[in-house]
Structure 1
Amino acid sequence: MKHLFTETFRTPGWPTWAQYLATTAVVTAVLLVRVWLGPHLSGFPVLLFFAAIIVCAVLFDRGCGIYAVLLSAGYVAYFLLSPIYSLKVASPSDIVGLFLFVAIGLATVTIIAAFHSTLHNLAEANTRLAASEQEKDLLLREASHRIRNDLTTLMALVKLQYRTVQDETARAMLAATADRMQVLARVHERLRRDTSKTTVGSYEFLSGLCNDLRTSMIGLRPVVIRAEVEDHALPQDRAVAVGLILNECVTNAMKYAFPDNRPGIIAVRFRREDDALVLEVRDDGVGVAFDGPERARGTGLGQRLIRSMVAQLEGIYDIRPNGGASGTVVTIRFPANP
């Protein structure tokens, strides 16, 4: 039946004469089958003709369905009802039966025509929806491309300024600004549409961000960044917040955890736990004294940025020593479905 309804989107394109000729052929074929099966179907002269009416109404239009009803009624009266080979029907009960056949046949055609209309409306709606979705995807790609280009231009200007500045504090601030712009650019590089929302896949985004940090910050230093990231769809604003937090945490670890070219590992994990998403950045560096360094007290700009992003995620921020080992663990936990 599914394939039969699929045909309804093709056969209405046939010429009118071809549709009515095919209807005549179908009804005539049913008559021949009915005559052949006559001994086995005595008392049911109209039964098989309902199949012909349904097929013609489904494959063609309402007019062909009505024509199939009337042609079937004529065939039944002429070939199957007494007197045979005459359109005159002798039995009152046969007249009533033939009238009911026509009425039920016309009702069936009307219902199928309604289905036709509904199917065509759905097909047109799906076509418009598909065109709309393609247009939205195109606009999203175009907007993301332009924003990414603008951010790249800004990063180039910041880095150019970085080379001309001699003050180390100013240079550090410009470098941090460029890194944060890189996070925003990577978000727009990974944008995709998920139903009605714009999302970023966490695996590609955070793994790529770790690769960027590994390339830009480590260089020849004996420090390894390991990323273990599950793939979850993050809305654009949450992806920005998570990316900035990760950038600040890894940057802080590189600055403070491995002095004097000390070797070490920075392990990044992003996973789902029950109804929460968890970002964890763990290093095996020298650790921190929580009443001493600026990194632990949280008075620096990076720490303020982290706390601001955590508040935006409606999450919890925790920083503590790495259990019984050396180093520090930063954990961000926030609702998976805000």
Structure 2
Amino acid sequence: MQSFLIYSAQTRAWPIWVRYFMASIIVAGMVLLRQSLAVYVPAPLYLLFFPAILINAALFDRGTGIYSVVLSAALARYFYFEPTGSFALADARTNVGLLLFIGIGCAISFIIEALHTTAHRLIEANQRLAAAEREKELLFQEAGHRIKNDLAMIVALVRLQERTEKDPHVRDTLATTANRIHVLSRVHERLHPGEGTTSVINIADFITDLCEDITASLIGARPIAIRTKVERHWLSQERSVPIGIIVNELVTNCLKYAFPDDRSGTIVIGFVRQDECYELTVTDDGIGPTHTVGTRRSSGLGQRLVHSMAAQLGGTAKITFDGPAGACATVRFPVSVG
């Protein structure tokens, strides 16, 4: 359709005498075609003139279509109605038929012109939308690069300040802050991979990739495994950010406190849908209550951060224990956004 409209835009730009000459050739060709088929197919008198009207109105313009109608009616009167070879008025039925043919042909020309104009406007609107979408994508990528660079600069400044501090508690606080900013950068990078970014995220891929980042940056040679058991659900970018922060906070807390003295163990991240709620779990088989978020061995800020992110999702967070060892952090939030 678009190719035809592009071609017709070229033919409609031809000089007017060329358009009317070509329309005459097409109508004459239909007369010859009817003459050649008359022996085999006794087609109605006007039947083959309608394709000529359609072609001329579509290729050229409404005026050419109306000209084709008048020319076709004149040729039909001259060749096919008694007395043949004359343009004089025929009997009443013939005249009514000719008038109906002219009326229908003109209506076809007007309709085709309206359809052509509408289709052309739709194509132009689609092109403007595509151009606006490309511009938005470029701005989106540029903003993403700037945010990433700004976060990296903040992390570098915090780590620089960390190295200059002598107080171990302050250094630890600055290191934790730098790690949290760094995870924001990782979450942002995962959510904005570049061209073709969509507004929804496959949470299974997102959590798996985030855990691979954590494994590469924090575990190293320690005998700790991170496993994921996550269902594939599509969530908006707005809801994926707090999920990424929660996962990072809980997993980082497990790595920091659950496995002291190079203790081996496993951290399992789960994400499932239960009825009208999503459930995110982070479970470990570490040393138990002494490492959970909010206890004396982890920061109160970490607890507040997890609960704040859970509240942002419209849900709740809680910690449960499985005997003297291991812990499970559970975050539940509704599927639908209130």
TM-score, normalized by the shorter chain, greater than 0.5: yes
Alignment of 1:238-257 (within 5 A): 238-257=239-258
Q: Residue 7 of structure 1: which of 4, 7, 10 is its match?
A: 4
Name the residue aligned to 2:77: 77
Q: Which residue of 2 aligns with 1:307?
A: 307
Partner SS, residue 48 of structure 2 = helix
Q: Is 1:213 the counterpart of 2:220 in the alignment?
A: no
Equivalent residues in 2 for 1:88-107, closer than 5 Å: 88-107=88-107
SS in structure 2 at match of 1:174 = helix
Any gaps of 5 or more consecutive residues in structure 1? none
TM-score (structure 1 length as normaliser): 0.88
Whether the 8 Å CA contact 1:200–1:233 is kept in 2: the answer is yes
1:47 is paired with a residue of what secondary structure? coil
Using the alignment, how far apart are the partners of 1:104 and 1:297 within structure 2? Answer: 88
What whole-Å deviation, never above 9, does each CA across 1:179-235 have from its counterpart, x for those lacking one?
211222123323279999845553444333212221232122211112344454443
Q: In the alignment, what sits opposite 1:177?
A: 177
Q: Which residue of 2 aligns with 1:327?
A: 326
Question: Residues of 1 paired with 2:257 and 2:187: CA distance?
Answer: 27
User: Do 2:289 and 2:324's aligned partners in 1 also have CA atoms closer than 8 Å?
Assistant: no
Name whichever of 131-140 and 297-306 sits farther off: 297-306
Matches within 5 A, 1:152-231: 152-189=152-189, 190-191=191-192, 198-231=199-232
User: Structure 2 length normalisation: TM-score?
Assistant: 0.88
SS of aligned partner of 1:249: helix
In 1, the alpha carbon distance for the partners of 2:91 and 2:144 equals: 79
In structure 2, how many angstroms separate the alpha carbons of the residues matched to 1:171 and 1:221? 23
Across the aligned residues of Structure 1 and Structure 2, the Cα RMSD in angstroms comes to 2.9
> How far apart in 1 are the matches of 2:308 and 2:188?
21
Percent identical pairs in the alignment equals: 44
Checking the alignment, whether the CA contact within 8 Å between 1:228 and 1:270 is kept in structure 2 is yes
Distance 2:37 2:112 in 1: 28
After TM superposition, give the deviation of residue 89 of structure 1 in Å: 3.6
Looking at structure 2, the residues matched to 117 and 127 of structure 1 have their Cα atoms a distance apart, in angstroms, of: 15
The code of the aligned residue for 2:5 comes to T
In structure 1, what is the Cα distance between the partners aligned to 2:319 and 2:187? Answer: 26
Cα distance between partner residues in 1 of 2:303 and 2:119:
58
Deviates more, 1:179-188 or 1:75-84: 179-188
Q: Write the distance in 1 (CA, Å) between the matches of 2:208 and 2:35.
A: 74
The number of residue pairs the alignment matches comes to: 333
Aligned-partner Cα distance in 1 for 2:294–2:45? 96
Question: What is the CA-CA distance between 1:32 and the residue it aligns to?
Answer: 1.8
Are the aligned partners of 1:203 and 1:230 in contact in 2 as well (CA < 8 Å)?
yes
**Paired position in structure 2 for 1:276:** 277
Gaps of 5+ in 2: none
